[in-house]
Chain A
């Protein structure tokens, strides 16, 4: 660099020049700042206003009240009860501090509940509240509320609990509700409503199937909140729309009566109004109490239910399949008549039937019988003989048209429809030719024949009317038009008369209808589950319960002008007439004379050890003792 002699003048010029540069730079920064301010507050104003608003205003979903389920007369089956509840929101819990024992102490929870809460906490996704207790008594609720500041993560709120007045008698019908699982939350595209504590969705049965109707539209409480989530003020709310009420065709009283009348058996009963197909009762017992499920069920309770060999967690009316046994015979008789068999033709029952090198037995030696006698006394040999003569091709369609193997459109997710076999089906399914013994088995509802109790009830309805009665459960569904079945009127009259004979002087003579002027027609059935000898079969007490035959009965009243039909299957109930027929008789009696039916029920319950609630409580206590668990606290019983 050329050495320049820098003088004070030079310096002064440099200073002025640099001051100008500095001033210019400062002005430029000032302009930049103003420009930036203008950009933010004018150009991007709308965007930031939106962000500011979404900061300020939060929408708290207000859960809609769940719709009611009512019976055909408007009697509640599933309703909502105001209740206090306590939840834990895992995300808000203090790290390293276990608040569960403290909460359990305040709410007097037992170890079962604590286990369940811990299990749920471990499974929870953090933001998803874990139900600690529902239906909390007020003083316990108050005790929690005053300690809330010391219990981070605990949330106490007022809400509604699902309440089923019928208790365990409606368990299999309505299913139950519960807090949404992580999967359900994902499936509904992360619907924020499902995260609100106390919001229950249908998990099983009607509660699940009718969820879209029952849930309703959540409202929104728009609130102004601080950055820390404190609510400053409430803005105009968006009201919630309660879920719709669903009316069933069920008669709640009849349903409950039938459920209680089942007693300690494992059974399902279906009562149908034949005039329109309305299902009046469809209990499956034993069952679970859906009231317990909506709080979140304890491990022990779940274990007890799932270990029970009477399968309380299965809806036997729709999900269990059984051989139809002799209840298939009236339909078989109609098929025989249509195929040209003379009903007066006599078959001699010798108590056994030889086909090839196999002997098929009858339950006793009936001697010579015509068709009427064969139905009334449920003679197997008659049907073996006649059905072989006609052939399976002509039998199966009639049986199917009577409802066996038919699919019904009912609001349940899991239904099983069973099978009525025929040669074509045998080839498709088992790749073998239909044999004579298949016809023999089918003629008495054994072998491949599988039905569910609802189908049995439908068959009774169709035999009663000669029309295609289609069951319905939702009152809002139109009654299906009842088309005529391919059965002549005189055939129909004949078979009704024969079924009247079953109750009047046949296999179900012990179950005569107790109402004067009203007579019942029916058909018993005994479905073999194991090949027991005649001796063992006669001595049921000795046989293991699991090995006994299923006891079936279908019936309609009044026999001369049918109005109600009923089908029941009692698992391992033994001979059809002994258990199933009285059950149907009493259930149908309730429709005509409640007083008389209740007297019969009381006497029955006395004989088996008291009312349902007491028996369940005793059974639970015994189970808990056997499994080394302490007895339930008093508030949890019943």
Chain B
């Protein structure tokens, strides 16, 4: 939205503020990965930087897609992803091991990652097709649940609990915004809350222990609670200003497991402290707020629901990861998008952002026409 005579129009029309924000988060991520590797661009920072650039380009390219195109690919994308999930399942069955990806030449594809935007687009498209008067009828509800639970189940049995939860939450968010009756959400939540203590008592010893460890990780600091305990030590010992770049002992001395992937926030917070953490959370909040604004400004039902669902995807990613590393949620294996090392999370988030940018572009061009 930079208006200048020098910059060509197509470039100037890009949502530069968002791109800068995302690039800043990614840059900060690279700095953290550089430190997590013991002060070296290898093996993570350079690779991650390249992956980010590739997907940023793809996202920008996607921003030229029209809403009609997005709508038209929603169901096929969902269908293809379901097939891929089944394929992964079959592969896993054949190789008698857990399998999450398909190898297509040099590229490893995790179909479950595609499912996050796919479920959002599919449900948005589904509810666009449901007439306003039908929204409270079962006809508007059970197909959505089928659309949601089939992939969620396929991902759960991979097993990938983290992605499954994110997919479920994204789908439910779209359903919620579409106007499905409130009791659909409130009743199961209430029932779950009531059943939890009963379930806890019915659990096996080892299952109960997992819950105990989550509630009090210090009770088993060398066993199951090790990740959370070390992560909390890293974050807590960072203090307000952090221990300084390259001076995080928890990550550099390998006490913090997965310090470059799922627990990258702890690596960051140890060195950059509360200040770095708050800034990062704030930056993500701005990205999500931008996406929510795209939703509010959406002029079609599909655009509204899709934009909100895609923003929610990013939100759930960030929120679950941060709750996990700070000991507010069990460890379920959700990376911090744009910061954690690994291509799939970057891909998912950039796909979401690309779709959001496309929807946002429609709004602007549309408003200009109007």
Is the A/B pair a real complex? Answer: yes
Chain A residues whose C-beta falls within 8 Å of the C-beta of B173 in the assembled complex: 22
Q: Is the CB of A23 within 8 A of B236?
A: no
Among A3-11, A74-82, A135-143, the one that faces the other chain is A3-11
> Bound state CA distance, A595 and B269, in angstroms?
81
CB distance from B267 to the nearest CB of A (A): 13
> Bound state CA distance, A625 and B240, in angstroms?
76
Q: Does A232 contact B (CB under 8 A)?
A: yes
> Bound state CA distance, A53 and B176, in angstroms?
47
Among B18-26, B84-92, B318-326, B347-355, the one that faces the other chain is B318-326
Q: Does B281 contact A (CB under 8 A)?
A: yes
Among A30-38, A331-339, A541-549, the one that faces the other chain is A30-38
Q: Which of A42-100 contact B (CB under 8 A)?
A: 42, 44-45, 47-49, 51-53, 55-56
Q: Is the CB of B237 within 8 A of A51?
A: yes
Chain A residues whose C-beta falls within 8 Å of the C-beta of B301 in the assembled complex: 11
- With A6-B133, A33-B323 as contacts: A22 and B177 at CB distance below 8 Å: yes
Chain B residues whose C-beta falls within 8 Å of the C-beta of A55 in the assembled complex: 230, 233, 249-250, 253, 255
Q: How many residues of A contact B (CB 8 A)?
A: 42
> Bound state CA distance, A151 and B327, in angstroms?
40
> Bound state CA distance, A638 and B292, in angstroms?
89
- With A18-B179, A224-B253, A226-B253 as contacts: A40 and B235 at CB distance below 8 Å: yes
Chain B residues whose C-beta falls within 8 Å of the C-beta of A47 in the assembled complex: 236
- With A6-B132, A15-B179, A51-B233 as contacts: A41 and B239 at CB distance below 8 Å: yes
CB distance from B106 to the nearest CB of A (A): 33
Q: Which of A343-378 contact B (CB under 8 A)?
A: none
Chain B residues whose C-beta falls within 8 Å of the C-beta of A23 in the assembled complex: 292
Q: Is the CB of A41 within 8 A of B274?
A: yes
Q: Is the CB of A6 within 8 A of B135?
A: yes
Nearest-neighbor residue (CB-CB) of A36 within chain B: B326
Q: Does B111 contact A (CB under 8 A)?
A: no
CB distance from B368 to the nearest CB of A (A): 23
Q: Is the CB of B239 within 8 A of A22?
A: no
CB distance from A165 to the nearest CB of B (A): 46
Chain B residues whose C-beta falls within 8 Å of the C-beta of A6 in the assembled complex: 132-133, 135-136, 179
CB distance from B184 to the nearest CB of A (A): 12
> Bound state CA distance, A22 and B179, in angstroms?
12
Nearest-neighbor residue (CB-CB) of A9 within chain B: B132
Chain B residues whose C-beta falls within 8 Å of the C-beta of A14 in the assembled complex: 179
> Bound state CA distance, A10 and B131, in angstroms?
12
- With A5-B133, A48-B237 as contacts: A30 and B281 at CB distance below 8 Å: yes
Q: Is the CB of B177 within 8 A of A19?
A: yes
> Bound state CA distance, A26 and B281, in angstroms?
12
Q: Does B342 contact A (CB under 8 A)?
A: no
Q: Does B331 contact A (CB under 8 A)?
A: no
Q: Does A29 contact B (CB under 8 A)?
A: yes
Chain B residues whose C-beta falls within 8 Å of the C-beta of A479 in the assembled complex: none
Q: Does A534 contact B (CB under 8 A)?
A: no
Chain A residues whose C-beta falls within 8 Å of the C-beta of B326 in the assembled complex: 33, 36-37, 40
Q: Is the CB of A26 within 8 A of B232?
A: no
> Bound state CA distance, A52 and B327, in angstroms?
17
Chain B residues whose C-beta falls within 8 Å of the C-beta of A53 in the assembled complex: 237
- With A18-B176, A55-B249 as contacts: A42 and B235 at CB distance below 8 Å: no
Chain A residues whose C-beta falls within 8 Å of the C-beta of B46 in the assembled complex: none
CB distance from B70 to the nearest CB of A (A): 19
> Bound state CA distance, A23 and B281, in angstroms?
15
Q: Does A492 contact B (CB under 8 A)?
A: no
Which of A16, A23, A41, A224 counts the most B-chain CB atoms under 10 A from its CB?
A41
CB distance from A2 to the nearest CB of B (A): 11
> Bound state CA distance, A56 and B253, in angstroms?
7
Which of B249, B281, B296 counts the most A-chain CB atoms under 10 A from its CB?
B249
Chain B residues whose C-beta falls within 8 Å of the C-beta of A22 in the assembled complex: 173, 176-177, 292, 308, 312
Q: Is the CB of A18 within 8 A of B177?
A: yes
Q: Is the interface of A mostly helix, strand, loop or mixed?
A: helix
CB distance from A48 to the nearest CB of B (A): 3
Q: Is the CB of B234 within 8 A of A41?
A: no
The residue from A11, A15, A33, A52 contacting B234, defined by CB atoms under 8 A apart: A52
> Bound state CA distance, A36 and B327, in angstroms?
9
Interface string of B225-253 (1 = CB under 8 A from A): 00000101111111110000000011001
Q: Does A146 contact B (CB under 8 A)?
A: no
Q: Does A636 contact B (CB under 8 A)?
A: no
Q: Is the CB of A37 within 8 A of B281?
A: yes
> Bound state CA distance, A52 and B173, in angstroms?
39
Q: Does A578 contact B (CB under 8 A)?
A: no
Q: Is the CB of B132 within 8 A of A36?
A: no
Q: Is the CB of A42 within 8 A of B176?
A: no
Q: Does A225 contact B (CB under 8 A)?
A: yes
The residue from B176, B177, B235, B288 contacting A41, defined by CB atoms under 8 A apart: B235
- With A19-B177, A33-B319, A52-B250 as contacts: A45 and B236 at CB distance below 8 Å: yes
Q: Does B254 contact A (CB under 8 A)?
A: yes
CB distance from A14 to the nearest CB of B (A): 4
Chain A residues whose C-beta falls within 8 Å of the C-beta of B312 in the assembled complex: 22
Chain A residues whose C-beta falls within 8 Å of the C-beta of B304 in the assembled complex: 15
CB distance from A576 to the nearest CB of B (A): 69
Q: Is the CB of A41 within 8 A of B269?
A: yes
Chain A residues whose C-beta falls within 8 Å of the C-beta of B230 in the assembled complex: 55
Q: Does A227 contact B (CB under 8 A)?
A: yes
> Bound state CA distance, A49 and B249, in angstroms?
11
Chain B residues whose C-beta falls within 8 Å of the C-beta of A32 in the assembled complex: 328
Chain A residues whose C-beta falls within 8 Å of the C-beta of B327 in the assembled complex: 36
Q: Does A429 contact B (CB under 8 A)?
A: no
Q: Is the CB of A42 within 8 A of B239?
A: yes
Q: Does A187 contact B (CB under 8 A)?
A: no
Q: Does B278 contact A (CB under 8 A)?
A: yes
Q: Is the CB of A26 within 8 A of B237?
A: no
Nearest-neighbor residue (CB-CB) of A228 within chain B: B254
CB distance from B136 to the nearest CB of A (A): 7
Q: Is the CB of A56 within 8 A of B249?
A: yes
> Bound state CA distance, A632 and B239, in angstroms?
65
Chain A residues whose C-beta falls within 8 Å of the C-beta of B238 in the assembled complex: 41, 45
> Bound state CA distance, A232 and B254, in angstroms?
11
> Bound state CA distance, A14 and B133, in angstroms?
13
Q: Is the CB of A52 within 8 A of B233?
A: yes
Which of B234, B253, B277, B319 counts the most A-chain CB atoms under 10 A from its CB?
B253
CB distance from A260 to the nearest CB of B (A): 58
Q: Does B285 contact A (CB under 8 A)?
A: yes
Chain B residues whose C-beta falls within 8 Å of the C-beta of A228 in the assembled complex: 254
CB distance from B261 to the nearest CB of A (A): 16
CB distance from B41 to the nearest CB of A (A): 21
Chain A residues whose C-beta falls within 8 Å of the C-beta of B277 in the assembled complex: 34, 37, 41
Q: Does B295 contact A (CB under 8 A)?
A: yes
Could you give 21 example pairs across A and B, Cβ below 8 Å?
Answer: A6-B179, A18-B179, A19-B308, A22-B312, A36-B323, A38-B274, A40-B235, A41-B238, A41-B273, A42-B240, A42-B274, A45-B236, A47-B236, A48-B235, A52-B250, A55-B255, A224-B253, A226-B253, A226-B255, A227-B254, A227-B255
Q: Which 7 pairs across A and B sit closest by C-beta, in order of nearness? A: A48-B236, A52-B237, A227-B254, A14-B179, A40-B236, A48-B237, A56-B249
Chain B residues within 8 Å of A, Cβ to Cβ: 132-133, 135-136, 173, 176-179, 230, 232-240, 249-250, 253-255, 269, 273-274, 277-278, 281, 285, 288, 292, 295-296, 301, 304, 308, 312, 315, 319, 322-323, 326-328
Question: Apart from A15-B304, A224-B249, what are 7 other A-B pairs with CB-CB below 8 Å?
Answer: A18-B176, A19-B295, A22-B312, A34-B281, A40-B232, A48-B235, A56-B253
